[in-house]
Structure 1
Amino acid sequence: MSHDERTNPNAPVFESNPDASGIRIWDPIDKGSFVFHTPVPVSLERADTDTFPVPIDSAVRLRTNRLDVPERVDFNVWDSDGSISDLVNPCDGDWHSEQVAYLEIPTSPMKLYVHVDCPLSIRERNGGVHIDLGEERTIFIGSRSHSDSPVGTITVTDNVEDVMRAVSLLGSSLKTLDPERSFPTLRGHPPLIERGDEFSVPPNIVRPETEVRLVLPPERRYVYAATSLAYYLGANVVPGDSPRLETPNRRYSLDGTGGFDGFEAEVSRVFQHLFFLDCIIRDEGSYDIPVQEREAVEPLLDFDCSSLYERSLAEQVDTYLDVPFDVTEPHLPKWCLTTDLVPSEANVGALPFIADELSLVRCPTPTTHVQPAAEAPEIADFCRSIQTPSESGGSTPAVSPQPTTSKEHVWIGDGVPVGGNKATVDSYRRRVDHDSSERSTIRVQIVCNDTNMKDEGEVREQYSFRDTSRHEVDIAYDLTVEELRTVFAADVDYLHYIGHVNHSGIECADGVLDTRTLDAVNVESFLLNACRSYEQSATLVEKGCRVGVATLSDVSNDPATKIGCLLARGLGAGLSFWSALSIAQSETLSGDQYVVIGDGSLTLCQPFSRIKPMLFIETDSDGGYTIRIKPFYPPCDSAGSMFGSVWDDDMTQHLQSDWIGDFHLEAETLDEVFREESMPIKYDGDLYWSDDITTKDLR
């Protein structure tokens, strides 16, 4: 089914696999792809999405006797009544059932369901999985993107009480008020917020009736800090003297230790506590998939999970607040994201995106500004350039935010965080405003504009995309100003620039290109791997790029080359810009001089199994290996998603954990893992990539 045949232009695309018999599914929003192989070529016909018991964006009908998945994946088995009846890990051995209604592949890059309605067998073979239908049958495959679009826009004035009314309406996108809204796909993207002359809201945006109120002082910082909590509870946000959470049966103070700092910490604490307990009881519903954290916490609770599940959201909140924090806090997973949001009128448009990510919010006070130091004079010859801040045109002060324990940390406001992630309201808006690509090929353009750096041009070989991803990686040398201007106007997913940036702009073969003079910027993401490239990079984001990586100071050639290569490996493996840069930064002393500007959650592609593991390996005395897994989650898997390892005998699922393990593997099994996909490996303090090594290299 081609792009033009879809009623929803953002829906996943089904197409015949050009490389082998079968089907390829492509998500134009998140750039994820998934492949089923079939014994012979199949004909795809558009199908009714109502065939499935869950919301589906697009579906096809086909006839086959077998579906093969080229990598090992798990399955949820659904009954015809829409409930999960079994979990299948093919590594546990062959599995068979006399009647299966639906199969769900929970780790695929998009939501993916197969309607079979027949007996079937699932077998692991040669690192992949066979789904055997016994004979040729008509089946249906349905899909929807993990990403949702906002249903409308709320207009607010600069009156803070208008902002309170808008935040009260963010919960209108919740797809359920049951504890299952702790699953990312059941929350829905909140409506957008923009500034205007008067308050207005479309008629289809209506706050859910949750009987929960947030009473807050009518100050912008209080409202911003409580945004995610208000959204998740569908709370009505109203002005009052002292901050508190109210239900029909109780009032809970949010003062904490007093003052705004006490409130900010208490909101974060309450939010994580309530959310975690929703995750504990949600498997009482349709998704009967308990998490390891429930096993640990349930014996400590004074309520019955099954009974509480049937009660209203407000009653659940009351019960949760009776549970002491010291019961839940030892078991809380590391939170996904903390956003430092300067509480200005201009930043109000960021609130829906912050809520969508369930980010914890801090509203910073004036922060110490720091100036990144230039390289020492004696190593100037080894740098891409040496400039003073005035020579580079730099005027944006660096800031040092307070550390956070979250996995990711974003700054939204004036200044740029050293070694951190700088987001803007406009870059967030491009998540939903950009047109979905009609092509399913990932385009990477490398530009090397310095003959002395042609060795770094070999970075082309580092873009090792999955075999199921279509991609083009081109390299050009010594571009002129007009040639580089044309590149920025082209439909390119990622531009990797190698060369120099001076006070006037990006150096080219015949002069300098100042990004402020660009009329069109269609490049989606970029790396300007040159000294002090922040100002030119920030302009690219202002003009249309969704995300970029830039430098704050002078950088030496060898570390810069290493950063460029590591970014290429990470992005090609499916990591977000945040995650890819964090790995690269940890490998060089000058890594903190690189910063992500814009929407760092963007990925160039999606891993086949959606979540990319990083393995930390130690050698055992018996010749085997102990493995710990650090999962890197895609942006669609915000708080509440689950992760499990095929090495868990009982298929234990963990809430979005920072670490999972320890697992003991023999060398032969670990080599099979290395061959399955490209992933970062840490062994004896050194970084490797799985497709470059075998266990013999670890001895």
Structure 2
Amino acid sequence: MSIDIDPLREADGITVTDHIENTQFEVYTDRPVDPRPRPESDHYFPVDASVAVETGAIEIPRVAVVETRAGDGTLLTHGDCYTMPDGTYHVGINPAPTKLYLTFDAGFSVSTTDRTTRIDLDTPGIVGLGFRSLHQTPAGTITTPTDPESLMDAVSLLGSALQTTSPERSFPTLRGHPPLIEPGEEFRVPERVEPVDSGVRIVVPPEYRYLYPVVSLAYYFAADVVPGDEPRIEGDGWSYPLEPGFEARTARVLRQSFHMDCLARTEGFYPVDLHERETTDLGLDWGRLYDLPLAERLGEYLEVPFADVEPELPQWTLTTDVRPDPENVEMLPFVAGELSIVRSPETVTPVDEDGGVGVGFLGGADRNPSAATRREIPVGGVASDGAVDPDSGGALGGGEFVRGASAGVTSPRATRGADASTDRGAVPAQTDFVRPEPVDTVEHAWVGDGVPLDANKATLDAYHRRLEAGQVEQSRISVLVVCNDDQMREEGNVADLYGLRDMVQFDIEVRHDLTREEMRETLESDVDFLHYIGHVDDRGMQCADSYLDLTDEDLEIGVSAFLLNACQSYQQGEALVHRGSRGGIVTLSDVANSPATTLGRIIARLMNSGFNLRTALHVAKRELITGHQYIVVGDGGTTVCQSRSGSVSVLDLSEPSTDSWDLDARMLPNGPYGIGSLTGINLSDSTDNHYIPTVINIQEICQHELMDLLNLETVPVFINDGLSWSDEVVID
């Protein structure tokens, strides 16, 4: 059992120890108690451990919201100060170090102080307490040989983290983090990693290129992965082929089954009005499907042709390319935990072999070259009339101030690496750039050798730091803006964009012209986000007196996340992640100063609004074609703070008439508000719930109601394909 419950020795109550999350907290009572085991099924929601005590009050040492349901699970009320009459109740207290549920038969009152939350029963009696680990960290590490057949046994245990096999596992809080995997000579499983018998089997040939793409399915279905010649998914009495088009079919199974679980779960704990259920007309008995065992339910899901479901499926959030190499096995639990679509490309196109479209012009698959759809200049420069200069050959514009050109160039292209010798190119010779195949998802990550264009270079050490970071309890967020070049001080004003938040406190500092030693001290300091503006070349980060090369220096990096808005900053950013950072945004080539300044300001506002690194860069690329010169290195899911609304949103506005607007609100998963979370939009014409990710479409919104919506929170808003912000939009 992952949770231990023991009586307190020096006070009345119990202590609760969660061995997965390594947390311990106390629950107080109004008299000494002797906790006795109680059936876990007594609680409305799934729990890992359950006890009963006799008491007249329950108190926890933190301010929380108390949610009250009737005996049949109907939600009655929630808040921090109210009373309820006699009855049978299921009560949830959130937040707490573990999920905490109570069940009892009595009237009660809820009260809070500035430090505690207390429930007083009208009549003392038996109270059932149920606890479920938040399970954001793995229960343990599986050691395994890395040959494909041995690795199948490890992948078969990823689903041990699931808190339930019901459709509710589509909620992120009921999935849990998969156990870690590490190479070893013998197969060993820690005690707390216990297999789940779901009845689902995934059969694939014992090869990495077949095994890696099914890791998210193995996790979500708690499936046994076994060797076989014909790729397929099996249950009792049914079989679903994964050929032809193995990777595409695997992605379809994940998307379709997850979507249908979100519809079926409305028959369970949360019988909400779900928009996707109303629009997905399949004629299925969702109540019957909800009650089926996982394997039977999945078999019936897959009997529905994908074409019948596809029009209602949201754009999936993340695709991860994992090269079919045994060195990448340790990344599999992280990839599966994100419910990523997984591909395992055996070959990849080097940039110098992709038909001449190399690092000099970093366009993406969804890039529209029309100047009308991008307000900033493309990498190719801008002619006097604002059009792309076809004679630039994809190089930097002749008169544009650049953040990394070579010294000795007599044109006005002063750069962010101004003393570099003329024989230094935009790409260091030792760097192998690759161009992954395009994706249909919002985000794209790459696991393996090479520096990917238009994808997050994901690294194992960064993902491990995600686990070490745990829950952010600090009350203030530190942001440091460093500008090491006087000609770039305009971007230094970006500091004004951080901290524009209610209820979130920021410590923001701006420093100029740091020396090498001062830069070392800065990088070693405990900073949540570093926004660096200056010169970088293959000698390192330029300082007031010399260069600081992070690839050579032995530094203990304290900076959690960063934007290195300088030319050719990839290797310096990679070194930051290797030495202690979680992740950051870096450049792959020279960047012109004007669009780099604009991008820096966009990223600042997005990070301040709770976006993670990958999604922030995705939004910036919609506005700036030069955004394709940037990639994320490390953990692309890194955030500086949480969005005020939980999920993050991007709004698209169009004006079909003079007195109304049409809105597309794209809601994206972020941090604890992962795929499957419920969301909605605060408009009178939209009362349904949606599951994340989604696009909420509302037509003909009056100006007054639209302005009320935009005033709720600062979010990016695209109007006529141009980026603005909700606190700047003027509707008239």
TM-score (norm 2): 0.77
TM-aligned CA distance change 1:688 to 1:114, over 3 Å: farther
The answer (yes or no) to whether the contact 2:135–2:161 under 8 Å persists in 1 is no
Map 1:626-637 onto structure 2 (within 5 A): 626-637=662-673
Match of 2:265, SS state, is helix
User: Which residue in 1 is equivalent to 2:493?
Assistant: 458
User: Which residue in 2 is equivalent to 1:127?
Assistant: none
Query: Aligned partners of 2:684, 2:208: CA distance in 1, in Å?
Result: 47
Query: Aligned partners of 2:48, 2:256: CA distance in 1, in Å?
Result: 32
Query: Aligned partners of 1:199, 1:412: CA distance in 2, in Å?
Result: 24
Match of 1:384 among 403, 416, 427: 403
Indicate yes or no: 2:444 matched with 1:409: yes
Match of 1:512 among 523, 543, 547: 547
TM-aligned CA distance change 1:104 to 1:379, over 3 Å: farther
| One-letter amino acid of the structure 1 residue matched with residue 198 of structure 2 | T
The answer (yes or no) to whether the contact 1:334–1:657 under 8 Å persists in 2 is yes
The answer (yes or no) to whether the contact 2:479–2:507 under 8 Å persists in 1 is yes
Query: Aligned partners of 1:435, 1:400: CA distance in 2, in Å?
Result: 34
Unpaired stretches in structure 1, ≥5 consecutive residues: 15-44, 68-74, 90-94, 122-130
User: Which residue in 2 is equivalent to 1:154?
Assistant: 142
User: Which residue in 1 is equivalent to 2:534?
Assistant: 499
TM-aligned CA distance change 1:86 to 1:616, over 3 Å: farther
Map 1:288-437 onto structure 2 (within 5 A): 288-301=271-284, 304-370=285-351, 371-373=358-360, 376=395, 379=398, 382-387=401-406, 390=425, 393-434=428-469
Query: Aligned partners of 1:358, 1:377: CA distance in 2, in Å?
Result: 39
Query: Deviation of residue 277 (structure 1)?
Result: 2.1
Query: Deviation of residue 120 (structure 1)?
Result: 10
Indicate yes or no: 2:609 matched with 1:573: yes
User: Which residue in 1 is equivalent to 2:372?
Assistant: none
TM-score (norm 1): 0.81
Query: Aligned partners of 1:439, 1:6: CA distance in 2, in Å?
Result: 23
The answer (yes or no) to whether the contact 1:103–1:114 under 8 Å persists in 2 is yes
Query: Aligned partners of 1:518, 1:267: CA distance in 2, in Å?
Result: 43
Query: Aligned partners of 1:676, 1:113: CA distance in 2, in Å?
Result: 32
- Deviation per CA, 1:264-294, whole angstroms, max 9, x where unpaired? 2222222322222222212222221242222
| One-letter amino acid of the structure 1 residue matched with residue 536 of structure 2 | V
User: Which residue in 1 is equivalent to 2:152?
Assistant: 164
- Deviation per CA, 1:364-405, whole angstroms, max 9, x where unpaired? 132222231186465366101215665764522222222221
Match of 2:711, SS state, is helix
User: Which residue in 1 is equivalent to 2:478?
Assistant: 443
- Deviation per CA, 1:225-256, whole angstroms, max 9, x where unpaired? 1111111111111111221222221233222x
Query: Deviation of residue 657 (structure 1)?
Result: 4.0
RMSD: 3.9
User: Which residue in 1 is equivalent to 2:697?
Assistant: 661
The answer (yes or no) to whether the contact 1:300–1:327 under 8 Å persists in 2 is no
Deviates more, 1:508-517 or 1:437-446: 437-446
| One-letter amino acid of the structure 2 residue matched with residue 309 of structure 1 | Y
Query: Aligned partners of 2:194, 2:133: CA distance in 1, in Å?
Result: 24
Map 1:190-205 onto structure 2 (within 5 A): 190-205=178-193
Query: Deviation of residue 643 (structure 1)?
Result: 2.2
TM-aligned CA distance change 1:223 to 1:349, over 3 Å: same
Match of 1:542 among 578, 590, 611: 578
TM-aligned CA distance change 1:12 to 1:527, over 3 Å: farther
Query: Aligned partners of 1:472, 1:493: CA distance in 2, in Å?
Result: 10
Query: Aligned partners of 1:470, 1:115: CA distance in 2, in Å?
Result: 37
Map 1:24-423 onto structure 2 (within 5 A): 47=28, 61=60, 78-81=68-71, 83-85=73-75, 138-139=118-119, 148-255=136-243, 257=244, 262-301=245-284, 304-370=285-351, 371-373=358-360, 376=395, 379=398, 382-387=401-406, 390=425, 393-423=428-458
Query: Deviation of residue 409 (structure 1)?
Result: 1.3
- Deviation per CA, 1:471-526, whole angstroms, max 9, x where unpaired? 10101111111111111111111111110012210000110001020320111111
TM-aligned CA distance change 1:104 to 1:291, over 3 Å: farther
| One-letter amino acid of the structure 1 residue matched with residue 166 of structure 2 | D
| One-letter amino acid of the structure 1 residue matched with residue 604 of structure 2 | A
Match of 2:663, SS state, is strand
Map 1:508-657 onto structure 2 (within 5 A): 508-516=543-551, 517-621=553-657, 623-647=659-683, 649=685, 651-657=687-693
- Deviation per CA, 1:176-211, whole angstroms, max 9, x where unpaired? 111111211111110001112222111221211122
Give % identity: 39
User: Which residue in 1 is equivalent to 2:717?
Assistant: 681
Deviates more, 1:498-507 or 1:421-430: 421-430
| Larger RCO, structure (CA 8 Å, separation 6 or more) | 1
The answer (yes or no) to whether the contact 2:607–2:639 under 8 Å persists in 1 is yes
TM-aligned CA distance change 1:382 to 1:6, over 3 Å: farther
- Deviation per CA, 1:660-699, whole angstroms, max 9, x where unpaired? 1124333333332232211112223322212234xxx344
Query: Deviation of residue 345 (structure 1)?
Result: 1.1
Query: Deviation of residue 605 (structure 1)?
Result: 0.4
How many residues of Structure 1 are paired with residues of Structure 2 in the alignment?
A: 629
TM-aligned CA distance change 1:667 to 1:276, over 3 Å: closer
The answer (yes or no) to whether the contact 1:280–1:290 under 8 Å persists in 2 is no
Match of 1:238, SS state, is strand
| One-letter amino acid of the structure 1 residue matched with residue 401 of structure 2 | F
- Deviation per CA, 1:568-595, whole angstroms, max 9, x where unpaired? 1000011111121122222223110011
| One-letter amino acid of the structure 2 residue matched with residue 279 of structure 1 | C
Query: Aligned partners of 1:651, 1:473: CA distance in 2, in Å?
Result: 39
Query: Aligned partners of 1:460, 1:447: CA distance in 2, in Å?
Result: 10
Match of 2:601, SS state, is helix
TM-aligned CA distance change 1:461 to 1:144, over 3 Å: farther
User: Which residue in 1 is equivalent to 2:4?
Assistant: none
| One-letter amino acid of the structure 2 residue matched with residue 320 of structure 1 | Y
- Deviation per CA, 1:628-671, whole angstroms, max 9, x where unpaired? 21223213333322322232557212232441112433333333
Query: Deviation of residue 450 (structure 1)?
Result: 0.8
Query: Deviation of residue 88 (structure 1)?
Result: 9.7
Match of 2:405, SS state, is coil
Deviates more, 1:646-655 or 1:464-473: 646-655
| One-letter amino acid of the structure 2 residue matched with residue 193 of structure 1 | I
TM-aligned CA distance change 1:522 to 1:62, over 3 Å: closer
Query: Aligned partners of 2:576, 2:271: CA distance in 1, in Å?
Result: 46
The answer (yes or no) to whether the contact 2:143–2:183 under 8 Å persists in 1 is yes
User: Which residue in 1 is equivalent to 2:708?
Assistant: 672
| One-letter amino acid of the structure 2 residue matched with residue 488 of structure 1 | L
Query: Aligned partners of 2:463, 2:432: CA distance in 1, in Å?
Result: 22
TM-aligned CA distance change 1:624 to 1:656, over 3 Å: same
Query: Deviation of residue 529 (structure 1)?
Result: 0.8
| One-letter amino acid of the structure 2 residue matched with residue 339 of structure 1 | T
The answer (yes or no) to whether the contact 2:69–2:77 under 8 Å persists in 1 is no
TM-aligned CA distance change 1:52 to 1:525, over 3 Å: farther
